[in-house]
Structure formats: structure tokens, C-alpha cells
Amino acid sequence: MTTQEFLGKKEFTINNQMVSESCPSNIALIKYWGKYDNQIPANPSISYTLNHCKTNTVMEFLADENFSVQTFLAGNEEVKFAEKIEKYFKNIEQYLPWILKGRYIIKTENTFPHSSGIASSASGFGAIAKCLIKLDEVFSGELSEQEALRKASFLARLGSGSACRSLYNGLVVWGESQIKGSSDLFAVKYPDDEIHEIFKNFNDWVLLIHEGQKSVSSTVGHGLMNTNPYAERRFQEARENFEPMKKILKTGDIQGFIKLVEHEALTLHAMMMMSDPAFILMKTGTLEVINKIWNFRNETALPLFFTLDAGANVHLLFPNDGNEEKIKSFIETDLLQHTQKNGVVKDVMKF
């Protein structure tokens, strides 16, 4: 599949439209960290799509007015975001030839706190791409369900890499890998029948260790991989990690899963520590939580583990396997105290 196949149809008829879409966020298990031009990932990644953490977007298109974009987040006008979207729309004109032929009013709302560090760019660009595909179908003709999803994922990727994975439920792969049909241009669903039941009923509770602006944006973070002396080895390792991951998912090897997922999170942070300039994205609370999780596992053998994004917050992962109440009460009594304001976002994976 090449980018040619995503080019927009030359024939189209535009008129005023209002569309709305919703898109969830996702959490990566094998991480995307490092990219080439045109949002091509340096290595494949796999993520879980969340259920409750979503962006809801209403897009109004006023045909034949001068191109401009106005954005509102939770009712407040966001000029910086509008500038970003204008740039994004100009960048994807070849795939949607009508896109600059009108004015946009875009209203978005996240179901999770803005400062939580939950990837709002993933759900945000996912929802925008879905709105654009809806308009494209009205103006240029219907696509099959699979084509529409694929094109939405392709367009979302050009807004924010990880967003392309939010278009599908369950486990989702982006980047050329051993997974059938996978591509650097869009994400694909990991085959459900290759996933053991234990991985289909999973929790992700996000501990808000540090609320507020991240110390490094993902754009800067990805860029630092260009000069990181360990980058190539890391990209290779991420590719190699798909081999054990496939077996783990198939056989329900929860211990293997825990080891691999935690290793991926720590590797992402290690890469940032070895960048120039260096960044330490964890806070004291992050380390205290990690140590407590490891002690808890040693003492109870219960499957509570973590992953991290490029920030201080901790994603607590655990299956609903009959032991989840013990894990939940441990989180409430021992881990919540390390958050800034008792902040926790409780989500589950969407299958």
C-alpha cells in the first residue's frame, strides 16, 4: 500500500456541513519513539485502545468561505491549536483536495483532565481525522468501511503519529513488522483470534503523579533520537520485541507480558536520560510507585504492573482475572498517596 492510494478524488461538490465524531486515546506497550520525515516511525509499535478517555469533536464546515480554522477546547477558544490544525490541513490537501475551500469551527472536549498527560493528541487527531473522512464521503463519495478507517488512520498519523492507532479497538499495530498487513503509513488491528482471553479484559488506571505541562514535548523527544548514540539499537530492539510479544499474546503468558511492557517503558525513559540534552521525565512519586509495585508483586505474585508515556504519570495495568479487587485496594491504600491531588483516571481497554 503506497501513499498514492490515499490521494483524494479530483471530482467533488462541497456545501455547508456539521459533523461530529468521538475517538479514544491509546496506551503503547511497545513504544513509538523516533521518527523520519512525513511521520514515518523509526520502529513498529503496539498499543491498547482505551475506553473512557476520549475526545468528542464537532466540526462545522462553511463552504466557499476563505480558509481559516477556529478551535474551542471545552468551550474556550484555543488560538495555538487552531494554528496547528491550519498547518495540518494545508499539509494533507493532496489527500483531501476540498479541504482548503472553506472555513472551520471545531469544538472539542476531552473526557479526561487536560493536564493528565493522557495522550490528548492521539484522541484529538483521531477524532479530527474521523470528521474529515465523514466530510470526504459527503463531498467525494462513500468509501468502504475498511477504506474509511484506513484513510482516517493514515490522516490521523500525519497529525500525530500515535493517533493513527486510536482508530481501532483492541490491540493495534502501527509500523512495518511481522504483523500481517502492518504498514508505516497507517495502523492495523492486531488479529483478535491471536489474543488470549486474559489480554481482552484489562484495566489501565492512570496515576496523576504530576499534573501540568510536560517538560519535553513529543516532537522534541522524537527529535532527540536523531542524535542519540543508542537509537539504532533501540529501534532494532523494538522490532525484535514483536517476536516474543506475538507468543505472549497468543499463549496468555502474563509474566512475559509484564516483563516486556515494563522493559519498554523503562527503555523509553532511559533513551531520554541518554539524550543530549538529557531529560529525566520521572518524578519522585513515579519511582516510589514503581518500587511499591515491584514489592507488591514479590509479596503477592499478583499481576499488577506499569507502563509510562513520555511523562511522570504511571499507567497501572492489571487484568480482570478474579484478583483485581485486591489490586484495586492496594492502589487506593498505597499508591494514590503519590499523586498530586489524589488524581487517578480509571479506564479499561476497549475490545
Q: Give the interface with ligand DP6 as residue ranges (CB under 6 A).
A: 28, 31-33, 39, 45, 119, 121, 160-162, 218-219, 222, 268, 309-310
Report d(CA 286, CA 313) in Å as an integer. Answer: 7
Whose Cβ is closer to ligand DP6: residue 265's or residue 327's? 265
Q: Which one, of 240, 308, 302, 316, lies nearest residue 273 by Cα?
A: 308
**Residue 326 Cβ vs ligand DP6, minimum distance, rounded to whole Å:** 29
**Closest CB to ligand DP6: residue number:** 161
**Would you call 191 helix, strand, or coil by DSSP?**
coil
Whose Cβ is closer to ligand DP6: residue 268's or residue 289's? 268
Pairs from 242-249 (Cβ < 8 Å, separation ≥ 24): 242/30, 242/44, 242/46, 242/177, 242/178, 242/179, 243/178, 245/29, 245/30, 245/46, 246/178, 246/179, 246/194, 249/171, 249/190, 249/194, 249/195, 249/196, 249/199
Letter for the amino acid at 217? S
- How would you list the strands of the sheet with 202-207, edge to edge? 305-308, 314-319, 202-207, 344-348
**Residue 122 Cβ vs ligand DP6, minimum distance, rounded to whole Å:** 6
**Residue 48 Cβ vs ligand DP6, minimum distance, rounded to whole Å:** 11
**Residue 177 Cβ vs ligand DP6, minimum distance, rounded to whole Å:** 13
**Residue 330 Cβ vs ligand DP6, minimum distance, rounded to whole Å:** 26
HSE, CB side, 13 Å, CA atoms: give it for residue 5: 10
**Residue 58 Cβ vs ligand DP6, minimum distance, rounded to whole Å:** 23
Q: Which one, of 92, 37, 48, lies nearest residue 223 by Cα?
A: 37
Whose Cβ is closer to ligand DP6: residue 121's or residue 140's? 121
Q: Which one, of 42, 82, 72, lies nearest residue 175 by Cα?
A: 42
Kindly list the distances between the CA atom of residue 289 and the CA atoms of 17, 28, 181, 264, 333, in Å, as whole numbers in the listed order.
Answer: 48, 19, 38, 17, 12
**Residue 6 Cβ vs ligand DP6, minimum distance, rounded to whole Å:** 18
**Residue 279 Cβ vs ligand DP6, minimum distance, rounded to whole Å:** 12
Report d(CA 331, CA 302) in Å as an integer. Answer: 13
Q: Collect all residues with Cβ–Cβ distance below 8 Å to 143 and sequence separation of at least 6.
A: 133, 136, 137, 151
Cell of 47: 498499543
**Would you call 72 helix, strand, or coil by DSSP?**
strand
Whose Cβ is closer to ligand DP6: residue 99's or residue 164's? 164
Q: Which one, of 20, 11, 50, lies nearest residue 309 by Cα?
A: 50
Whose Cβ is closer to ligand DP6: residue 28's or residue 92's? 28
Whose Cβ is closer to ligand DP6: residue 165's or residue 327's? 165
**Residue 348 Cβ vs ligand DP6, minimum distance, rounded to whole Å:** 18
Q: Which one, of 91, 48, 31, lies nearest residue 225 by Cα?
A: 31
